[in-house]
Structure 1
Amino acid sequence: MTINKVMVVGGGGQMGNGIGQVAAVAGLDVTLVDISQEDLDRGLRRIDKSLERMVRKGELTDADAKAARERIGTSTDLEATGAETDHAIESIIEDVELKQDVFRRLDAVCRPEVILASNTSQFAISKIASATNRPDRVIGTHWFNPPPVMRLIEIVRGVETSDETLETIQQLAKRFGKETIVCEKDTQGFLTSRLIMILVVEAMRIVEEGVATPEDVNRACQLAFNHAMGPLATADMGGLDTFVKASEAMTHHFGDRFRPTQGLRALVNAGHYGYKTGRGFSEYGEAR
């Protein structure tokens, strides 16, 4: 099928607005959907700042940035938007029951051929797909933060995801200018989350044991392993509140090696979630 219109559910959030921006830059018409216009306006402001940075860096012309921005609309009506879309991407908080509810609602209004994708970083795609009558057209597209910068989309097949669905999403990712890997087994945390989370949790333990500061842990991974950013900075960017939930889910499936540390819980209990609150394992000034 031809995909020209894309909707992003959770489009006001940190990941959702970035996904919408990528699709718009690639020439698709995008509708960001969220529960309030306030959330959507915040997402649009982030997109505006991101596009401005890309123009300053010479990654986009001013004309291309303006054209991309004009292709982005917003809505608080999921059903009305879903009835008109060619492809739906869910990017809400990591709560599997909420995700299932979104997919149930999308399934009821989207055309039968429309593929529904989840940006989950950990939940079984088959469990999300079970809320629909089209499990063969449900797939995981795990983006990385920030979506306009990161090159990879991890594609995750559910038990019933069809070959045609996989091929369509791989081709769409190429239109987005992204590279892909495929997680063939629908397992908790997929490939990338299992790898990064075990590194992040160990980095947290190192800090709590007083072995090194967060800054030196991050710097070690950047300089020794050529990581673009350190593991604690990665956790701060993604949100420590989100990381706690993901860590607890991974612990349930794979054991104590993924268990969230007490220091992490203390930061989250104090309302320090990382970039979005201005403080996590490091200080960032104003909330972002």
Structure 2
Amino acid sequence: MTVESIQNVTVIGAGTMGHGIAEITAMAGYSVTLQDVDSDALAEGYRRIEWSLDKLAENGVIESVDTVAGRIDTETETASAVKNADVVIEAVSEDLELKRTIFEDIDGHASTDAILASNTSSLSVSKIASEISRPERAVGLHFFNPPVKMDLVEVIYGAKTSDQTVDRALSFVNSLDKKPIEVQKDVFGFVVNNILHGFIDEPAWMVSRGEATIPEADAAMVHCRNYPMGPFELADLSGIDIAYDVRQAGDIPIPPVMQERVDAGEYGRKAGVGYYDYENGDGPMYEQGDGVTFDTLHVEACMANKAAELLEQDVTTVEDIDTGMQLGAGFPVGICERADEIGLGTIVQKLSTFHEKYGESRYEPAEYLVQLVEEGHAGVAAGAGFYEYDTE
């Protein structure tokens, strides 16, 4: 069911995310314009939409490919693409200056009532919208890849985003049959990627320090803790170069093992080699017993600490953190729920040990986490932690 005040949606950028967002928006009944300055990229994006719709029709997800595809027009000119749009979603690559330029262009041609949304996965919505005339209309809509399959969308406030804009954006996301979580402050990485950095980076630091091997880390997180992929396997799939660029943009320390792969051009699956060899090898190579000595608590403690920092800063809620990690990252349970199961006192002790040993700020226990423990809210066994539990 579409939102009554929204009829026409324009998606800027016909790449993987852009054409995916255009597809699900058309599936929800909206009239969609897919815009890209590159006519070849635009044609390829539309072809991929048709291919995907054919597969969905074969599986009975949609009744008519022609009906859905017929709701999508293509356009190379920004002005004509956005002039009648109620929502404009920018979905180009993670380049702040490019996104800022596109937002300024959109701002000059779109209706004054239109929502201007960025599909950024980590960059500041406030900075992207810093030069437009109506920043109160700007919002982040972070869809996850691939949009057709992934149910989560992060809805992010910029510094000047109005509550009315967020309310409309939340209604729009719900109308796409997606689950929104609200990110109330414009922090780098938002919710999911902030916590996911700990899942990917901490094992990389451990390998860089000689404390573990790549197969040990992946085997432990998959077979011992039930994550859908190991951290190195995931990095290879999503692109080590992309992870590297994001961390540079956020001024996040880069583990040496990641730096080595980028320097060698070994970006993962798309390059044929990354942490694993996909050309001359069999890709991820780890067995169930490989990870028995790997310190999984180290990784989960760091993720829980980041969750506590987000709560301490009033970025979001416990429930939205756990929903985000399950729907956006495929975690078996939310990280706050898992931390309560482990015990928050155990997590604080682990973090304190590493903070004393390495002196790195990311290991310093969040004040909120320490406060919970001091108040006796140490997790499931105590009857309360991030959540409250019925112990009767």
1:43 counterpart letter in structure 2 = G
Per the alignment, do residues 130 and 203 of structure 1 end up closer, same or farther by CA in structure 2, a change over 3 Å counting? same
- Map residues 68-87 of structure 1 onto 2, 5 A cutoff: 68-87=68-87
Q: 1:25 to 1:219 in 2, by over 3 A?
A: farther
**Secondary structure in structure 2 of the residue aligned to 1:155:** strand
Shift of 1:283: 5.1
Q: Are 1:5 and 2:13 matched, yes or no?
A: no
Amino acid at match of 2:145: N
Residue equivalent to 1:265: 259
Pairwise CA distance, 1:157: 0.5
1:140 and 1:100 mapped to 2: Cα distance? 13
Q: Which has the higher contact order (CA 8 A, sep 6+)?
A: 1
Bigger-Rg structure (1/2): 2
CA distance in 2, matches of 1:158, 1:170: 15
- CA drift of 1:278 comes to 4.8
For the residues of structure 2 that align with 1:186 and 1:233, how far apart are their CA atoms? Answer: 29
Structure 2 residue matching 1:104: 3-state secondary structure = helix
Q: Secondary structure at the match of 1:31?
A: strand
Give % identity. Answer: 34
Counterpart residue number, 2:186: 186
**Conserved? CA contact 1:22–1:148, under 8 Å:** yes
- SS of the counterpart of 1:260? coil
Q: Which amino acid aligns with 1:141?
A: L
| Offset of residue 270 of structure 1 | 4.4
Cα distance in 2 for partners of 1:141, 1:219 equals 33
Q: Secondary structure at the match of 1:84?
A: coil
Aligned to 2:92: 92
What is the count of residue pairs matched by the alignment?
Answer: 275
Give 1:30 deviation, angstroms: 1.8
Matches within 5 A, 1:7-26: 7-11=10-14, 13-26=15-28
Tell me which moved more, 132-141 or 66-75: 66-75
Shift of 1:42: 2.8
TM-score normalised over the length of structure 2: 0.64
8 Å CA contact retained: 1:25, 1:65: no
Look up the equivalent residue of 1:212 and give its one-letter code. T
Question: In the alignment, which residue of structure 1 is the partner of 2:322?
Answer: none
Q: Measure how far apart 1:194 and its partner are.
A: 0.8
> How far apart, in 1, do the equivalents of 2:272 and 2:40 lie?
20
Give SS of 1:32's match.
strand
Judging changes above 3 Å, is the alpha-carbon distance between structure 1 residues 89 and 213 closer, same or farther for their aligned structure 2 residues? same
Counterpart for residue 162 of structure 1: 162
Q: 1:249 to 1:49 in 2, by over 3 A?
A: same
Whether 1:249 aligns to 2:249 is yes
CA RMSD of aligned residues (A): 2.4
Give the conservation status (yes or no) of the 8 Å contact 2:36–2:42. Answer: yes
SS at match of 1:35: coil
1:60 aligned onto 2:61: yes
- Kept in 1, the 8 Å contact 2:214–2:232? The answer is no
Q: Which runs of 5+ in 1 are unaligned?
A: 253-257
